């Protein structure tokens, strides 16, 4: 029992420590990439090529004075960043980095991840409400509306993948892409999913909750020092999480780029990391290239464009799978059992009607 607990703790630390290091060094990487796109140098003072900049930023946040607003609800004010940061960590429990390299290989892994990402709204709402500030509350409301709007599209797009696989298990979804990645036949869905991830993580050009020109800094305007740090870490951890989700659902997870024996020499976790690192680069690229949307444009894109398109793709993919008899075995069994149950109920009702007629 003791060895089992030690093994679980070792697995948890094996996920959390690389994740926190990745989040820490993603910040200077973002600044470097944006600087190169804008013909600047970026951070280059602290350490060799500015590699120690995350340590300097962390030290600065730790030594700054934490300020608690006198009119805030202190308990909720303190717990809000903790909730946001913890939810960004526990979501990694079902992410497989290679075949069998996963903390908990749940059969409902996608539902678990979707539930955790939905709960992330609460940390932002409670931060804005407990601050007792109009700017923070406005940013919290914007974030809640934005995340809920785009979660609908993300859910429908995930359903498109699920009906192709017939399972909510991430490992089975990756194995189902051995012949062809889902990002190729479902390329428009893949693009919609990535844009929805941008909005879900409050990244540019959808960073309306943190629009400094309108609501100062959004829901975290009253936070300073180590109260601000969990929000900052949570945002970048969610960015890497959504990149992992794009990789698992559309780019074959840990599978190599080509089904060639020599590529299988490279471990699956390396392939997974390479694919995941591609998406933060695109996140940064989009931030440097596109201006911020207006709020009405953001809502119109979510409800009037992505929602009907994602629903149409669910219907289209379902129709194609049924027409060409490509449904996964699990769905076929469910479909047959549902038809049998329906026929049984019809027969039962007809027998019941005959008996009633004979009685009368």
Q: Which domain holds residue 43?
A: 1-59
Distance separating alpha carbons of residues 50 and 43, to the nearest angstrom: 5
CA triple 58-64-65, angle to 5 deg: 145
Task: Please report whether residue 266 resides in a domain.
Answer: yes
Domain shared by 117 and 247, yes or no: yes
Distance separating alpha carbons of residues 311 and 189, to the nearest angstrom: 10
Task: Please report whether residue 356 resides in a domain.
Answer: no
Both tokens assigned to 194: 């990535």
Domain shared by 100 and 12, yes or no: no
Domain shared by 20 and 49, yes or no: yes
| Confidence at residue 117, expressed as pLDDT on a 0 to 100 scale | 86
Position of tokens 């991840």? 113
Domain boundary among 20, 37, 59: 59
Helix extents (H) in 166-304: 170-175, 187-200, 212-215, 229-250, 268-289, 295-300
Q: How long is the chain? A: 360
Domains: count for the chain = 2
Say if residue 205 is preceded by a cis peptide, omega within 30 of 0: yes
Distance separating alpha carbons of residues 118 and 360, to the nearest angstrom: 56
CB 244 within 8 A of CB 269: no
| Confidence at residue 329, expressed as pLDDT on a 0 to 100 scale | 65
Task: Please report whether residue 195 resides in a domain.
Answer: yes
Tell which residue, 347, 354, 158, has the closest CA to residue 245: 158
CB 54 within 8 A of CB 24: yes
Write out pLDDT tens, residues 46-103. Answer: 888 888 888 998 899 889 888 888 888 889 999 999 999 999 899 999 999 998 889 9
* pTM (2 d.p.): 0.87
Domain shared by 82 and 45, yes or no: no
Distance separating alpha carbons of residues 59 and 190, to the nearest angstrom: 39
Domain shared by 200 and 137, yes or no: yes
| Confidence at residue 281, expressed as pLDDT on a 0 to 100 scale | 94
Task: Please report whether residue 154 resides in a domain.
Answer: yes
| Confidence at residue 134, expressed as pLDDT on a 0 to 100 scale | 84
Distance separating alpha carbons of residues 237 and 24, to the nearest angstrom: 10
Local confidence pLDDT in tens for the 360 residues of the chain? 788 888 888 888 989 999 999 998 998 999 999 999 988 888 888 888 888 888 998 899 889 888 888 888 889 999 999 999 999 899 999 999 998 889 988 889 999 998 898 888 888 899 989 988 888 888 888 888 888 889 899 999 999 999 989 889 999 999 999 989 999 999 999 999 999 999 888 888 888 777 655 656 678 888 888 888 898 888 899 999 999 999 999 999 999 988 888 888 999 999 999 999 999 999 999 999 998 888 889 899 999 999 999 999 999 999 999 898 887 765 544 444 444 444 444 545 554 565 566 665
Both tokens assigned to 127: 């931060």
Give DSSP secondary structure letters for 174-189.
HHTTSSS-TTTTTHHH
Domain shared by 245 and 214, yes or no: yes
Tell which residue, 210, 236, 192, has the closest CA to residue 85: 236
Domain shared by 179 and 316, yes or no: yes
CA atoms within 13 A on the CB side of 198: 25
Helix extents (H) in the chain: 2-37, 53-63, 74-90, 109-130, 134-165, 170-175, 187-200, 212-215, 229-250, 268-289, 295-300, 307-323, 329-359
Task: Please report whether residue 342 resides in a domain.
Answer: no
Distance separating alpha carbons of residues 321 and 328, to the nearest angstrom: 9
Tell which residue, 91, 96, 358, has the closest CA to residue 248: 96
Both tokens assigned to 203: 């990244």
Residues 6+ apart with CB under 8 A from 310: 153, 156, 157, 160, 189, 192
Q: CA–CA distance from 215 to each of 21, 136, 191, 211, 280 (Å)?
A: 31, 7, 29, 6, 26
Q: CA–CA distance from 210 to each of 119, 137, 266 (Å)?
A: 19, 11, 41
Domain shared by 164 and 43, yes or no: no
Residues 6+ apart with CB under 8 A from 189: 157, 160, 161, 250, 310, 313
Domain shared by 171 and 313, yes or no: yes
């Amino acid at each position: 029992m003791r060895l089992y607990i030690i093994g679980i703790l070792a697995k948890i630390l094996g996920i959390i420590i690389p994740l926190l290091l990745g989040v820490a060094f993603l910040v200077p990487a973002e600044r470097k990439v944006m600087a190169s796109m804008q013909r600047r140098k970026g951070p280059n003072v602290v350490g060799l090529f500015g590699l120690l900049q995350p340590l300097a930023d962390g030290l600065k946040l730790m030594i700054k004075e934490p300020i608690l607003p006198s009119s805030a609800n202190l308990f909720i004010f303190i717990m809000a960043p903790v909730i946001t940061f913890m939810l960004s960590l526990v979501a990694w429990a079902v992410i497989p980095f290679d075949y069998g390299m996963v903390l908990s290989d749940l059969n409902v892994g996608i539902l678990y991840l979707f539930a955790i990402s939905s709960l992330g709204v609460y940390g932002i709402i409670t931060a804005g409400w407990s601050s007792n500030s109009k700017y923070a509350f406005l940013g919290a409301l914007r974030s809640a509306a934005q995340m809920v709007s785009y979660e609908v599209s993300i859910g429908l797009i995930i359903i498109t993948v699920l009906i192709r696989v017939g399972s909510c298990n991430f490992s089975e979804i990756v194995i189902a892409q051995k012949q062809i990645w889902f990002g190729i036949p479902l390329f428009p869905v893949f693009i919609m999913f990535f844009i929805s991830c941008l909005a879900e993580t409050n990244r540019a050009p959808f960073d309306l909750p943190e629009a400094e020109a309108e609501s100062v800094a959004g829901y975290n305007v009253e936070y300073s020092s180590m109260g601000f740090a969990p929000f900052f870490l949570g945002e970048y951890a969610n960015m890497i999480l959504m990149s992992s989700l794009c990789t698992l659902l559309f780019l074959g997870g840990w599978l190599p780029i080509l089904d060639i024996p020599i590529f299988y020499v490279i471990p699956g976790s390396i392939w997974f990391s390479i694919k995941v690192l591609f998406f933060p680069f695109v996140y940064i690229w989009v931030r440097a290239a596109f201006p911020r949307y207006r709020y009405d444009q953001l809502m119109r894109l979510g409800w009037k464009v992505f929602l009907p398109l994602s629903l149409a793709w669910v219907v289209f993919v379902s129709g194609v799978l049924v027409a060409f008899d490509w449904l996964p075995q699990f769905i076929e069994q469910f479909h047959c059992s549902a038809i049998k149950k329906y026929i049984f109920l019809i027969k039962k009702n007809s027998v019941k009607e005959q008996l009633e007629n004979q009685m009368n």
